């Protein structure tokens, strides 16, 4: 039998079946399968130990009983008992080969992974800037981490709804609409042309104008407030202006999203929930959760050290809705309309109090109304810091525009690529730099544990050395240059020659390496099982792609996948230094080319899962 994509789950199922036969399952035996330290094997099951201790049995004897039931795994694994009762599993070379033969395209990898969350629907709430303003560096992490999480969830079989919960209904709209109308009166053509060239800059300028005017003149302030009241009452003209501002803003945001590989399924901003909050007040009051306090409607959480005195304010004392009311309405809508199983909120960790109160309130409210609360999770993240370890700003202390940041990334990557390959045509260097620059920013963000702050350092992130996008993108192209050699080296005469350096690879004209599904199938058919230590280690690492994906998905932490890809690239380098690929023996050559091919495949699939674009040549 061929091993399934996720070997650890297969072991888990086998161990559970064995435990059931021994009558241990109903007494609560858990296999506890983990990826093992490579020195000991590929996987280990620790469950016998804890179980035996609890049941006052000899753990080693119990583990042995379990192992005795696992006879049919012996074809694929070497099973050994270690220490006081760990079961170690080492994949046999033939099993490694079988897995490599089976998973030969990104689609195949995906269909292997898809059973994990098949049938689930997830909504991912990410990016969510405020309209009528440019996105700045503070908006980077939610967009980048959110997109990676969408792709990980979809890869493991979930239906994913990408939701941009934009802020589109704030009090600033009164002033903005006032200034917008003034500008339209004094020169509609000039306004439209400013909006056509730099819409968000123009909205920012108008808002400032309105704000200053309102500060200086109480009559303007009153007029602006009147505009807001009209908007909220549904005045047709103001609604149209507001809608126009939102449309233009979203189109401008899309230019950034395009660079980051993001396309939202829905944009249900805060305003969407405006007519849905009355029902929330009613339900929370009826089920006894909310109470009036100083004119506001609030929810206390008596069991919580802080929220017993610091309530969740769901309706302000002036009767207006707020962030809490719209977010409560959002949960209900996601439950009723999208019927989600899970919702991931990719929001700055500084909002953790809001989300904790939101989730606590929703838990109690859903329980009291006999609804099943979907899995809700705050995917929090730290701040992007400058080299001075303070939040990253421009020299004048302004927020750095995301657009400017991505432009600079591409420019710096262009310098890197040009230094490496000055002889390549400029258009080609530009095209490569566009991918490397943006990918470097994405990867620098994703490769950190998202809970921590990180220091934004151009020289470290746009580099061919270290755990960077450029290093991994280059690793992908390096495998391609081996295929080019394989295609030209009929007799293996060029065997063992070094893969192209980045400059040589870039300078070569012509099509990318001619690797078709046919080549891959031919190598898979001719290949014998891995034999050398380097082949075996690389194959073992490839099989663990499934574990890295699973860990990153279950924890909603993409950095686990980054670490894995970096280690895989390292394992590949070791293999390439140790073993010649283009040798005469057709079986050896085929199995080494197969390892090269699958390395490139897994690296590519992994980078795509993170939201990065990859290159054929660099």
* Positions that interact with ligand ARG (CB under 6 A): 125, 128, 130, 165, 167, 327, 330, 345, 347
CA 350 distance to own-chain centroid: 20
Give the other-Cβ count within 10 Å of 110's Cβ. Answer: 18
- In the chain the first and final C-alpha atoms are separated, in Å, by 40
> Could you tell me the CA-to-CA distances from 397 to 385, 392, 400, 401, 460 in Å, in that order?
13, 9, 9, 12, 23
CA dist 383 and 390 (Å) reads 9
Residue 130 φ/ψ, nearest 5 degrees: -90, 140
Of the pair 322, 528, the CB lying nearest ligand ARG is at 322
128 and 247 Cβ atoms separated by less than 8 Å: no
| Smallest separation (angstroms) from ligand ARG to the CB of 29 | 41
Of the pair 379, 549, the CB lying nearest ligand ARG is at 379
Of the pair 68, 275, the CB lying nearest ligand ARG is at 275
| Smallest separation (angstroms) from ligand ARG to the CB of 443 | 24
Give me the half-sphere count of Cα atoms (radius 13 Å) on the Cβ side of residue 546. Answer: 27
| Smallest separation (angstroms) from ligand ARG to the CB of 345 | 6
The residues with which 345 forms a beta bridge, in sequence order, are: 125, 378
Of the pair 30, 130, the CB lying nearest ligand ARG is at 130
Residue with tokens 């394989």: 486
| Smallest separation (angstroms) from ligand ARG to the CB of 311 | 18
Of the pair 348, 408, the CB lying nearest ligand ARG is at 348
Of the pair 281, 333, the CB lying nearest ligand ARG is at 333
| Smallest separation (angstroms) from ligand ARG to the CB of 346 | 8
| Smallest separation (angstroms) from ligand ARG to the CB of 88 | 45
Of the pair 109, 379, the CB lying nearest ligand ARG is at 379
Of the pair 353, 616, the CB lying nearest ligand ARG is at 353
| Smallest separation (angstroms) from ligand ARG to the CB of 167 | 4
| Smallest separation (angstroms) from ligand ARG to the CB of 69 | 49
CA dist 572 and 539 (Å) reads 10
| Smallest separation (angstroms) from ligand ARG to the CB of 341 | 17
CA dist 481 and 126 (Å) reads 38
Q: Which sign does the torsion angle of CA 70, 4, 516, 155 carry? A: negative
Could you give the 3-state DSSP secondary structure of residue 89?
A: strand
CA dist 97 and 342 (Å) reads 36
| Smallest separation (angstroms) from ligand ARG to the CB of 316 | 17
The residues with which 196 forms a beta bridge, in sequence order, are: none
Apex 54 CA angle, 52 and 55, nearest 5: 65
Of the pair 168, 434, the CB lying nearest ligand ARG is at 168
| Smallest separation (angstroms) from ligand ARG to the CB of 296 | 20
Of the pair 12, 327, the CB lying nearest ligand ARG is at 327
Q: Which sign does the torsion angle of CA 210, 211, 213, 219 carry? A: positive
Q: Which of 391, 291, 320, 380 shows the shortest CA–CA distance to 344? A: 380
CA dist 361 and 359 (Å) reads 5
CA dist 46 and 43 (Å) reads 10
CA 581 distance to own-chain centroid: 34
Of the pair 162, 165, the CB lying nearest ligand ARG is at 165
Q: Which of 437, 450, 460, 442 shows the shortest CA–CA distance to 383? A: 450
């Amino acid at each position: 039998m061929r091993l399934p994509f996720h070997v650890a789950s297969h072991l888990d199922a086998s161990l559970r079946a064995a435990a059931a036969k021994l009558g241990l399952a109903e007494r609560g035996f858990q296999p506890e399968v983990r990826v093992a330290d490579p020195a000991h094997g590929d996987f280990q099951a620790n469950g016998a130990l804890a179980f035996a201790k609890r049941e006052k049995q000899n753990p080693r004897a119990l583990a042995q009983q379990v192992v005795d039931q696992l006879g049919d795994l012996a074809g694929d694994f070497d099973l050994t008992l270690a220490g006081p009762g760990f079961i170690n599993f080492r994949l046999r070379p033939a099993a490694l080969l079988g897995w490599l033969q089976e998973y030969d395209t990104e689609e195949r990898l995906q269909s292997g992974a898809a059973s994990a969350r098949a049938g689930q629907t997830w909504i991912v709430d990410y990016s969510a800037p405020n309209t009528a303003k440019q996105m700045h560096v503070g908006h980077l992490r939610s967009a980048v981490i959110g997109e990676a999480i969408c792709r990980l969830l979809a890869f493991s079989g979930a239906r994913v709804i990408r939701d941009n919960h934009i802020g589109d209904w704030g009090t600033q709209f009164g002033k903005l609409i006032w200034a917008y109308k003034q500008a339209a009166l004094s020169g509609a053509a000039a306004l439209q042309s400013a909006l056509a060239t730099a819409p968000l800059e123009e909205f920012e300028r108008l808002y400032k104008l309105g704000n200053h005017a309102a500060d200086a003149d109480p009559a303007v302030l009153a007029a602006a407030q009147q505009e807001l009241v009209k908007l909220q009452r549904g005045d047709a003209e103001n609604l149209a202006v507001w809608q126009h501002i939102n449309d233009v803003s979203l189109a401008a945001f899309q230019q950034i999203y395009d660079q980051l590989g993001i396309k939202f399924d829905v944009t249900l901003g805060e305003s969407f929930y405006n007519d849905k909050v009355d029902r929330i007040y009613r339900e929370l009051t009826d089920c006894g959760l909310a109470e009036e306090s100083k004119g506001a409607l609030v929810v206390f959480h008596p069991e919580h050290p802080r929220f017993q005195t610091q309530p969740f304010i769901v309706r302000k004392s002036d009767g207006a809705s707020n962030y809490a009311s719209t977010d409560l309405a959002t949960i209900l809508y996601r439950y009723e309309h999208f019927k989600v199983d899970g919702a991931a909120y990719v929001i700055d960790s500084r909002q953790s109090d809001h989300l904790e109160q939101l989730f606590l309130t929703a838990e109690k409210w859903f329980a009291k109304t006999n609804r099943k609360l979907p899995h809700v999770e705050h995917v929090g993240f730290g701040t992007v810091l400058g080299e001075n370890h303070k939040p990253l700003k421009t020299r004048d202390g302004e927020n750095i525009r995301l657009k400017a940041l991505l432009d600079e990334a591409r420019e710096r990557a262009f310098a890197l690529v040009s230094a490496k390959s000055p002889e390549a045509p400029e258009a080609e260097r530009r095209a490569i730099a566009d991918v490397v620059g943006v990918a470097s920013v994405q990867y620098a963000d994703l490769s950190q544990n998202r809970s921590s702050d990180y220091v934004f350092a151009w020289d470290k992130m746009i580099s061919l050395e270290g755990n960077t996008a450029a290093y991994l993108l280059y690793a992908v192209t390096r495998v391609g240059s081996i295929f080019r050699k394989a295609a030209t080296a009929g007799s293996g005469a060029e065997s063992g020659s070094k893969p192209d350096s980045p400059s040589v690879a870039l300078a070569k004209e012509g099509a990318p390496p001619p690797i078709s599904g046919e080549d891959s199938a031919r190598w898979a058919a001719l290949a014998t099982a891995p034999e050398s230590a380097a082949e075996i280690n690389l194959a073992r690492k490839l099989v663990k792609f499934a574990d890295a994906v699973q860990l990153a998905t279950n924890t909603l932490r993409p950095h686990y996948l980054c670490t894995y890809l970096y280690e895989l690239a390292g394992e590949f380098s070791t293999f390439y230094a140790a073993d010649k690929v283009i040798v005469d023996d057709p079986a050896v050559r085929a199995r080494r080319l197969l390892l090269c091919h699958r390395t490139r495949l897994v690296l590519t699939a992994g980078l795509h899962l993170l939201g990065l674009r990859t290159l054929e040549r660099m």
